[in-house]
Structure 1
């Protein structure tokens, strides 16, 4: 038995791979749920009710999916060009911190639409600037960006902690460590009244469409795909790899920074050190589940959001640990990697 690379991947197989990976992940996780003494079918039914069983549940699920779409896009853009950006968490926090600062002081007094636009752009710029250093180190000196981006996450979170305990501390937070809040007039409008679902969801969906358009219809998208498929061949064809990687790094960091800006201006209102429950890392899973497809990322982000939001309801209903959601997401990544292997290779005797 041996693996043989496919000349091309059938469209039906490529479409079925993510679905099969999710089904396999649910089956494997179901074994663990059964071992915990609960019925897997009852547990998954409770999870779906917790995520879609009411108006509030649906809006909470969509609100949780919003930053996951953006961090998933950030990972997918970079990974497609073989730029391994593991720093989405830090880039998200930088975008959030800059947004809170500008939305509390600098931009107050401007027309709200203009101020919100400037906040979003500033958050994107902060995320892009954070990734720029690791990309330059890789292009100029060959430094592994996996290490630099991963370690920067911890540096940024410590920096955020310092800022919200110091210059950006909210004096009216009664000792709770959080940043100054974004002015109420500059918060993103709600999509559904009396819920936490906000316009950030539309921003995330538009971002997915724009990234898909860039990848499919622009020379920059073609160069980034070429750099990911074969760097040597791309360089031989005249593609400037350093310039392409810098552009990809700026776009990837900007998307992660936008996730932080949207989360603060749309939902939280201020920055805390637990602003993100791991959106930057979960974005990698979202991107891989979608096979790095920008449109597929919207669906995979919704799947991950269902697992996270519905886990609490499942835990209350059947008595399973709530962290089973993390297990489902992690197993989904592993099964998706196996599925991607068999979309690229076939087994031969």
Structure 2
């Protein structure tokens, strides 16, 4: 028996693969649920109803999915070009704190202020990712390590700001930034809920990124840089310039996620603003096979598991960590499934 690389990957295989991977992950997680003494079908039904069983739960799930879509897009864009951006968490926080800092300084009407603040958040994320990219291009430093370590630096920098010059004097000593002004908050999509227009922005950006990657010269160049950097350079692709553009797009999306989370949900910045959106975005990107449109569905699936697990835990008395295990198993099964989309078994 040997593995043989496929010359062509059928479209149906690329579509079916994520579905099979998720089903396999649910089956494996079901074993753990049964060991915990709960009925598997009932547990998954409670997750589904806990995430979409009411108006409140459905809007909360989609609100949770919004930053995951953007950080997932950030990872997908970078990974497709072999730019290993592991720093979306730090870029998320810088985008958030940049919005909090700029909001109190800009006295503009809402139609101008909101897009401007979103742009400020995106630029903050771009600046952070350009540091590890410069180190890679100038000194051949592995960006996996530098971008990962910059996450901790960024969070500590944000902590310093919200404990210092950006600290809210009305927070009774609690470390948080000054609140974003009311007219800078994103409009709500549904009244009496937290679901905001950032959800629509995230889906629109997924469509735009898909168009860029599949229909533009830059998209072709970024794919070529990821498939074969040496061949891309030989074919005339400006590799360094392409990677800079990819980095700006990836970091901008992660910074935008932080800006949207502050302007749409929290209204201020704390050091626990993100429960790991930057890291979870990597899982979302891999579940989507680095496809921008697939990122939307992968983010909703991940948010469904996290939000619905609370209802399952309360109803059946099993740990909510089952959701983390299921998402992790989904990633592992997805990686195995992707391997078999590239290779076939031969006798």
Where on the TM-score scale, by shorter chain, does this alignment land: which range?
over 0.9
Say how many residue pairs are matched: 347
Shift of 1:140: 1.4
**Residue 242 (structure 1) aligned to one of 240, 243, 251:** 240
- Corresponding residue number in structure 2 for 1:97: 97
Cα deviation code 1:82-106 (max 9, x no counterpart): 0000000000000000011111x11
The 5 Å alignment of 1:12-91 reads 12-91=12-91
Distance in 2, matches of 1:316 and 1:175, equals 34
Partner-residue secondary structure (3-state), 2:4: strand
Shift of 1:144: 0.3
- Corresponding residue number in structure 2 for 1:158: 156
Shift of 1:165: 0.7
Distance in 2, matches of 1:185 and 1:75, equals 31
Partner-residue secondary structure (3-state), 1:85: coil
2:51–2:58 contact (8 Å) kept in structure 1: yes
Distance in 1, matches of 2:70 and 2:139, equals 29
- Corresponding residue number in structure 1 for 2:332: 334
Question: What are the ranges of 5 or more consecutive residues in structure 2 without an aligned counterpart?
Answer: none
- Corresponding residue number in structure 2 for 1:106: 105
The 5 Å alignment of 1:155-234 reads 155-234=153-232
Partner-residue secondary structure (3-state), 1:82: coil
Question: What are the ranges of 5 or more consecutive residues in structure 1 without an aligned counterpart?
Answer: none
Partner-residue secondary structure (3-state), 2:319: coil
Partner-residue secondary structure (3-state), 1:197: coil
Distance in 2, matches of 1:234 and 1:291, equals 22
- Corresponding residue number in structure 1 for 2:261: 263
Partner-residue secondary structure (3-state), 2:345: strand
Shift of 1:191: 0.3
Partner-residue secondary structure (3-state), 2:187: coil
2:155–2:271 contact (8 Å) kept in structure 1: yes
Shift of 1:320: 1.0
Partner-residue secondary structure (3-state), 1:106: coil
Shift of 1:296: 0.7
Shift of 1:161: 0.8
Distance in 1, matches of 2:45 and 2:13, equals 28
Distance in 2, matches of 1:123 and 1:159, equals 16
Shift of 1:238: 0.5
Distance in 1, matches of 2:41 and 2:314, equals 15
- Corresponding residue number in structure 2 for 1:275: 273
- Corresponding residue number in structure 2 for 1:122: 120
Shift of 1:324: 1.2
Instruction: State the 4+ residue runs in structure 1 displaced beyond 2 angstroms.
Output: none
Partner-residue secondary structure (3-state), 1:3: strand
Shift of 1:174: 1.6
- Corresponding residue number in structure 2 for 1:7: 7
Shift of 1:130: 0.2
Cα deviation code 1:101-128 (max 9, x no counterpart): 111x111x31101000110000000000
Cα deviation code 1:29-73 (max 9, x no counterpart): 111111111111111111001100000010000000000000000
TM-score (norm 1): 0.99
Distance in 1, matches of 2:59 and 2:77, equals 27
Distance in 1, matches of 2:187 and 2:123, equals 22
Distance in 2, matches of 1:164 and 1:70, equals 24
2:109–2:183 contact (8 Å) kept in structure 1: no
Cα deviation code 1:131-154 (max 9, x no counterpart): 001001111111000000000001
2:86–2:144 contact (8 Å) kept in structure 1: yes
TM-score (norm 2): 0.99
Shift of 1:166: 0.7
2:100–2:179 contact (8 Å) kept in structure 1: yes
Distance in 1, matches of 2:169 and 2:26, equals 46
